[in-house]
Amino acid sequence: MLTMHNLPHPGEVLREWLTDITVTEAAERLGISRVSLSRLLNGANGISADMDVRLSKALGTTPGYWLGLQADYDLWQARRHFKGHIRPIVESVT
């Protein structure tokens, strides 16, 4: 598995898709508030299932594409910040 050192937030990826349109116009076309879209683009909010559907319809991406980016980002963040100690529940058989 390839490990990225600085995985971008899905909002950063989305920002690249929206270079020819204002945030206000994109929000209107997506049927969301400008504030919601701005928070997503700035990394304060993540992609929800509803937003994934809206983005796939508006941008022509496959359903699940944006949720996949969010899941990859969330897992990358969790692995970076995890400090706990976990004891196995089931012993591995090798």
Reference 48, options 11, 17, 3; nearest CA is 11
Going by pLDDT thresholds of 50, 70 and 90, the confidence category of residue 91 is confident
Mean pLDDT of all residues belonging to the chain:
93
CATH number assigned to the domain with residue range 10-72, chosen from the 4 options 3.40.50.2300, 1.20.200.10, 1.10.260.40, 3.30.420.40: 1.10.260.40
Domain residue limits, the chain: 10-72
Helix axes 10-17, 65-81, angle to 10 degrees: 140
The string of pLDDT tens digits covering residues 23-69 is 999 999 999 999 999 999 999 999 999 999 999 999 999 999 999 99
The confidence score (pLDDT) of residue 6 equals: 87
Q: What is the mean pLDDT of residues 5-18?
A: 94
